[in-house]
Structure 1
Amino acid sequence: MKCEEYNCKVTSIVTDNAANVTKMRRDLFEELDRKDVITYGCSAHMLNLLAHDIEVPGINGNIKKICKYFRNVHFASAKFRKAGDSALVLPQDLLWIKSKETLALGIGEATEIWLELLEAFETEQANGEFACSVSYTNKVKERMEMALTPAHFLANLLDHRFRGNKLSQEQIETGMEYVETYHPEALPIIINYQAKCAPFKPYLFSEYLIKNDKVKPLAWWCSIKNINTTALELAQQLHSAIASSANIERLFSSYGLVHSKLRNRLGNAKAAKLVSIFKELNSISDDVTDQIDDYKSETEKV
């Protein structure tokens, strides 16, 4: 789907998981050419919903009462400070992960995280190490099914670091059926990729290359010669699809701070420049904070 106004091509659409937005996504998928655009829900938002599913009922309210008690009662606050503990922080209902690398995860990497999470819960369930483990595992499965689409499975399969090793046979077949339905010309190349035969050289699957995070799947696929255009475009579409909408939500939040009611005559171009400066300054501030924290931790070890 080409966006002529901004001279770009839209290949994926990620939204949150509210019922009305989910319906919009389904309608959009039916209306648009399914070959050109993939639509899916935000994995970060779905993980947040999962956290609410498995949390102890009312625990946030109890923690807030304790925090407010130590904050508002002078005697308790003095004793707490005397003990040398750090300030208590009120729990947040929604806290997006701060790491830039995490916010930029692709759908293949998000699929791997979901699979590892489910594996951890199933291991706990088998060992019987926490109560109600069966219901917790079922909740993880339910949310994972809502978050992942055939495109997610295929992206994980076509990631040279994962190659679908944690996917079930049913999930692999779902991904391959997606290829057969919408990108049949890419099917022979993908089968050769699975078999590690030409045009894929053995060194492309070396252990060093797999463990090296500097080589991203998009760069890995672009380095392959003599593959058809359809397969390469499919790989580019899947490996450029971001798993979370948190970044764009943060951007809109920053835009709201810059383009406020008091500054409502700002033009779009100038507001965009101010937001860029605002985000860059915040990024520098976060980097400095991380460096200070690292220095403190190293000093404490010494």
Structure 2
Amino acid sequence: ECRINEVTEALIEIEKVFNKELPLSDLSSSEQDKILEAVQARRKMCLKPIHFSANILDPKLKCKHLSAGEIIQGLQYIHSLARHLSNVDENKVLENLADFRSNSGFWEMQFVQDSAINPNISPITFWKGICTEFPLRFVAEAVLTMPATSAATERSFSSYGNIHTKKRNRLSVKRAGMLTYVNHNLKLFTNDELPRDPTDTSESTVTLGLEEKTMATNQSEPGFSGWYSPRCVDQSSSSEDSELYEEMDAVLYASDELEDEDDVDKDEDID
């Protein structure tokens, strides 16, 4: 699992590998220097104040391998975030931050320090489970729970592009977002996770959203727009799963009905 507080350390490790391996290569010294400059430039491009703040708030790192300038940027980001969070007092956050960095007050206690370096306790668990009474906890949670990469967001944009197409271009922003949400969550249910009837051997492949799923032939039910109903899943699912599928099903069909109404209204306007 990739965490945002580990980004600075990962890039430093990459740079160490290059520094160790390049002298053993057949490259000239000038070529080696160019490669190292490119690695350092990439590190500088990738790292932002939020990465420095995540490093600072990680009780196992606490500014480890950060320059003075990077520490200042990280502290400024923490202060800026505290000012924008409605449920915290920024002055209290600064007090907590000073005590946290200097290991004073609450953070001076031995059990707190032992919890901080425990490899089985993640940074986010440390703040949520040990430091529950301090406003700095909310800032730490906001920073440390952020994704380390934008890949998930880019995948959502890709799904959105497949939903809002040239042929299906009358979707409102709200409706398209709703369909993207349903499509994303349907992909979380794999055939292995869904309970099936062991006596049912009749299967056929149908299209569910934008994926191919293998389901019983007597359970597939296409929606109006070509999206297949969540009720295509095995009917032996638990009652909670069935309710979830019915809710998703209702969202899909409600969206299609609204589209039909829009089409009728537009046709009447044209007439």
Give the TM-score of the pair, scaled to structure 1: 0.48
1:157 deviation in Å? 1.5
Question: After superposition, what is the alpha-carbon deviation per residue over 1:139-178, rounded to whole angstroms, capped at 9, x for unaligned?
Answer: 1211211221222112111112322322234422432354
Question: After superposition, what is the alpha-carbon deviation per residue over 1:241-287, rounded to whole angstroms, capped at 9, x for unaligned?
Answer: 22211101112223444555566677533553234213533997xxx
* Match of residue 241, structure 1, among 146, 151, 154: 146
Verify: 1:202 aligned to 2:110, yes or no.
yes
Whether contact under 8 Å (1:254, 1:278) holds in the other structure is no
Verify: 1:254 aligned to 2:159, yes or no.
yes
RMSD: 3.4
**Match for residue 113 of structure 1?**
10
Structure 1: distance between partners of 2:105 and 2:158: 48
* AA of the residue aligned to 1:276: N
Structure 2: distance between partners of 1:270 and 1:142: 40
1:119 deviation in Å? 2.6
* AA of the residue aligned to 2:143: L
Verify: 1:188 aligned to 2:87, yes or no.
no
Write out aligned runs for 1:6-45 (5 A).
none
Question: After superposition, what is the alpha-carbon deviation per residue over 1:201-241, rounded to whole angstroms, capped at 9, x for unaligned?
Answer: 323333895322xx3322211221442x2x22321221122
Tell me: CA distance 1:181–1:245, structure 2 relative to 1, closer, same or farther (3 Å): closer
Q: Secondary structure at the match of 1:162?
A: coil
**Match for residue 278 of structure 1?**
187
* AA of the residue aligned to 1:232: R
* Match of residue 35, structure 2, among 106, 118, 136: 136
Tell me: CA distance 1:260–1:279, structure 2 relative to 1, closer, same or farther (3 Å): farther
Question: After superposition, what is the alpha-carbon deviation per residue over 1:20-47, rounded to whole angstroms, capped at 9, x for unaligned?
Answer: xxxxxxxxxxxxxxxxxxxxxxxxxxxx
* AA of the residue aligned to 1:174: Q
Verify: 1:151 aligned to 2:50, yes or no.
yes
**Match for residue 165 of structure 1?**
64
Q: Secondary structure at the match of 1:157?
A: helix
Write out aligned runs for 1:173-184 (5 A).
173-179=72-78
Q: Secondary structure at the match of 1:211?
A: coil
* AA of the residue aligned to 1:192: D
Give the TM-score of the pair, scaled to structure 2: 0.53
1:117 deviation in Å? 1.6
Whether contact under 8 Å (1:217, 1:239) holds in the other structure is yes
Write out aligned runs for 1:80-95 (5 A).
none
Tell me: CA distance 1:182–1:274, structure 2 relative to 1, closer, same or farther (3 Å): closer
Tell me: CA distance 1:130–1:118, structure 2 relative to 1, closer, same or farther (3 Å): farther
Does 1 or 2 have the higher relative contact order (CA < 8 Å, sep 6+)?
Answer: 1
Question: After superposition, what is the alpha-carbon deviation per residue over 1:97-117, rounded to whole angstroms, capped at 9, x for unaligned?
Answer: xxxx34xx32x2222212222
Q: Secondary structure at the match of 1:206?
A: helix
Number of residue-to-residue matches in the alignment:
177
Structure 1: distance between partners of 2:155 and 2:80: 36
Structure 2: distance between partners of 1:181 and 1:264: 40
Q: Secondary structure at the match of 2:189?
A: helix
